[in-house]
Amino acid sequence: MAYWPGADNLTISMPDHAAPFFIALNAGSGHAETEERQTIIEAVLRGAGQPFQLTIIDPPDAIDQVAAQLARQAAAAGGVLVAAGGDGTINAVAQQAIRHGCAFGVLPQGTFNYFARTHGIPEDLEQAVHALLAARVQAVQVGVVNDRVFLVNASIGLYPRLLEEREADKAQFGRSRLVAAFSALKTILSPHRRLRLVLKIDGELQRLRTATFFVGNNRLQMEQIGIPPLSEALEDGRLAAVAPRTKGKFGMLWLLLHGALGRMGRLDQADELTTFSFKRIQVKVRTLSRRRRIKVATDGEVTLMSNPLEFHVMEEQLLLLKPTTRHSREGGNPSRASRPAVHGFPPARE
């Protein structure tokens, strides 16, 4: 559905707030809830006299096609591409915003909403729409693994499996943080294999065995799991890597609980954890042949990618509409040293 007040005389330039919004609304939560969200969005935007076009993504696997079409329209009109959904939806739509060079807005509707919360975007839908109307464009960092971008995190090993089982449990028991927590506990306590990794960082090789290799691009998530130094590195144009070295499932459970209670102790001080920051890294999984593909989770979505994996910070940045009134603290200090801190690596072997 589209609404264009005075469209014949509309002149658009960014960040002019007369610029139209091209909104992709994910219908994954069900018809009734989608209809309610659509009503709220349209009521606020019409009340503000804001030109917009709202497209419902249904079925969910049409998201890439819909987002690409809306991005082309937004780029041609000097408008804003807006994602309404969880972190996976935001990721898919953001990729098209970057590809087509248009500004990007977010209306968070997921379970955790790490990306939105980090950038001070309200989780309440009506408040988020109002915040979008008063937002200003700010460039934000984007991570890449192979050819896929991520705004929150990317990972291999146990974490992608956890995400797949979590989605299955949510489909059966409903979408809530409690269901997500119990699903994660069940996955961690089930049998799982450790990965044998060869990491190439700044030309140097390091070997690592771990159940999961996690790369973060979200300050709030790093702070919540109790690794403040890595959250600071994200403000310096780097990505954050975390890999547990513990062998047993109960050791993994301890790390999970320790991270969940991060304010009671810093996770980066745990003896069984490797943490470091970087701008570019190659990760090769030694347990798989060179031609095999491996499961990689990016912002909650699991896909197959070629081995080895290349993680890096994208040169282009995402032109995000951020609220003028902050709901999260601002960080960043360009004077910090750019050399990465590496903790917990075993001796490198060729």
CATH at 220: 2.60.200.40
When divided into structural domains, the chain yields a total of: 2
Helix, strand or coil for residue 26? strand
Domain annotation covers residue 141: no
Domain annotation covers residue 217: yes
DSSP per residue, 67-135:
HHHHHHHHHHHT-EEEEEESHHHHHHHHHHHHHHT-EEEEEE-SSS-HHHHHTT--SSHHHHHHHHHT-
Domain annotation covers residue 250: yes
Q: Sorting pLDDT into bands at 50, 70 and 90, what band is 12? A: very low
Domain annotation covers residue 302: yes
Q: Which of 104, 134, 164 is the last residue of a domain?
A: 134
DSSP at 18 = T
Its domain, for residue 54, covers 2-134
Decide if 303 contacts 148 (C-beta within 8 A): yes
Asked whether residue 196 falls in the same domain as residue 247, the answer is: yes
Q: Tell me the C-alpha distance between 25 and 99, whole Å.
A: 19
Paired strand residues for 284: 198
Write the pLDDT tens digit of every residue in 260-277.
Answer: 434 334 455 555 678 899
Q: What number is the average pLDDT over the span 211-239?
A: 81
Asked whether residue 308 falls in the same domain as residue 244, the answer is: yes
Asked whether residue 92 falls in the same domain as residue 188, the answer is: no
Domain annotation covers residue 220: yes
Asked whether residue 211 falls in the same domain as residue 276, the answer is: yes
Q: How far apart are the first and last CA of the chain?
A: 59
Decide if 25 contacts 41 (C-beta within 8 A): yes
User: Which pLDDT does position 325 carry in this prediction?
Assistant: 60
Decide if 198 contacts 188 (C-beta within 8 A): no
CA distances from 134 to 48, 104, 198, 334 (A): 11, 14, 47, 27
Q: The domain spanning residue 93 has which CATH number? A: 3.40.50.10330
Asked whether residue 301 falls in the same domain as residue 172, the answer is: yes
Asked whether residue 68 falls in the same domain as residue 209, the answer is: no
Decide if 73 contacts 53 (C-beta within 8 A): yes
Is 4 or 195 the better-scoring residue by pLDDT? Answer: 195
The tokens of 340 are what? Answer: 């990465």
Asked whether residue 260 falls in the same domain as residue 126, the answer is: no
Asked whether residue 185 falls in the same domain as residue 108, the answer is: no
Q: Which of 134, 163, 181 is the last residue of a domain?
A: 134
Average pLDDT, the chain: 79
Domain annotation covers residue 91: yes
Angle at 321 between CA 316 and CA 325, to 5 degrees: 135
Residue 258 scores a pLDDT above 60:
no
Write the pLDDT tens digit of every residue in 275-304.
Answer: 899 999 999 998 655 558 899 999 988 999
Asked whether residue 128 falls in the same domain as residue 162, the answer is: no
Domain annotation covers residue 338: no
Residue 206 scores a pLDDT above 60:
yes
DSSP per residue, 291-317:
T-EEEEEETTEEEEEESSEEEEE-SS-
Q: Tell me the C-alpha distance between 40 and 162, whole Å.
A: 33
Domain annotation covers residue 329: no
Q: Which residue, among 101, 100, 125, 103, has the nearest Cα to 113 in the 3D structure?
A: 125
Write the pLDDT tens digit of every residue in 69-85.
Answer: 999 999 999 999 999 99
Decide if 53 contacts 70 (C-beta within 8 A): yes
Residue 252 scores a pLDDT above 90:
no
Paired strand residues for 173: none
The H-or-E segment that residue 206 falls in is strand 204-210
Q: Tell me the C-alpha distance between 82 and 142, whole Å.
A: 17
Asked whether residue 90 falls in the same domain as residue 156, the answer is: no
DSSP at 112 = S
Asked whether residue 129 falls in the same domain as residue 167, the answer is: no
Asked whether residue 112 falls in the same domain as residue 155, the answer is: no
Residue 192 scores a pLDDT above 70:
no
